[in-house]
Amino acid sequence: MKEIDIYTLKDEFKLELLAGERGLHNKIASEDLHRPGLELTGFYRFFPHERIQVIGKQEMSYFHSLFPSMQKRRLNEYFRLAPPCVIVTRAQTEIPYFQEYAEKYQVPLLRTTDKTTNFISEVNNFLEKKLAVEQGIHAVCVNVFGVGIIIRGQSGVGKSELALSLIERGHRLISDDLVILKRIGPVALIGSHNGTNKEFLSLRGIGIINILRLYGSGSLQNETKINLDIELVPWVEGTYYDAIGREENQKNYLGIDVPTIQIPIRPGRDVASLVEVAAKNWRLKQEGYHAFKDFENRLHDQTNE
């Protein structure tokens, strides 16, 4: 199970530390956040103690309605259960006894100026990506007309050269050689780089080039949702290659099926154009138009005339 520590969260969102500094090494393993409503009334039976706790104005308003003796009792019970951290939103300063009990149990007490709902949404998105199940594959990842594409094939088949041709046509590189795939939610697959190979493209005979320096910021993208998988294969005479598109094949990554096609490579083929057409054709299918079905219907109509 992947984890991140509170230090990482604090730095990412520039949170102010109010108490519980020794707890900054606490680990977060859940992408969900929790607003303690029932807990402030004393009900803890289903308290998700493994989640980040967020206290907005609503929770604090109720807390202020309690007598001081009850406030202390509730906070002692709350912090004693040791959640990974407690974050107060909207830069609230009237937080009686919170620092005292956060320090007592060494639970990091943090504060943000953000609104509660905005903050929860941003942190949830951040944790989804950080804690997502991931897989590294030997491939190239590009974004063509807004379509995220994995380009696979054996070493030397021309994946990086194809990526360069696409970049020169105005499309964007995500990653070369090593693509990091992350599963976000039940059906979303994100492709990214590993940080080290960001901006770089490796070309046989030339070496490593920096795409950002050569083509500008518009040639790069940090990540993309994966929509299509393309496998490049050497052209073998006498082999049948599908030129109709009757079958729609799938490639599975992390439990998510991605439409896949195979493009045979031989001298003279404009593979970059083929990838562009594949991206446009994928978009048409998402809009409900299938060229093969249209062609098949026309043949059927002519046959019945």
Q: CATH 3.40.1390.20 occupies which residues in the chain? A: 4-130
Catalytic-role residue among 10, 177, 251, 290: 177
Element (H, E) at 260: strand 256-265
3-state SS track over 124-173: HHHHHHHCCEEEEEECEEEEECCEEEEEEECCCCCHHHHHHHHHHCCCEE
What superfamily in CATH does domain 133-300 come from? P-loop containing nucleotide triphosphate hydrolases (3.40.50.300)
Which of 27, 49, 64, 138 is catalytic? The answer is 138
CATH of domain 4-130: 3.40.1390.20
Helix axes 159-168, 271-286, angle to 10 degrees: 70
Q: What is the band of 305 on the pLDDT scale with cuts at 50, 70, 90? A: low
Residue extent(s) of CATH 3.40.50.300 domains in the chain: 133-300
Catalytic residue (one of 114, 159, 171, 176): 159
Q: Is the pLDDT of residue 304 over 90?
A: no
The answer to whether 255 touches 179, Cβ cutoff 8 Å, is: no
Q: pTM (2 decimals)?
A: 0.78
Q: Is 159 considered catalytic here? A: yes
Average pLDDT of span 75-81: 95
Residue 222 has pLDDT above 90, yes or no: yes
Q: Which tens digit of pLDDT belongs to each residue from 151-201?
A: 999 998 999 999 999 999 999 999 999 999 999 888 899 999 999 999 999
Q: Are 47 and 70 a contacting pair, CB within 8 Å?
A: no
Q: Spell out the residues 6+ positions from residue 273 whose beta carbon is closer than 8 angstroms to its own.
A: none
**pLDDT at residue 29 tops 80:** yes
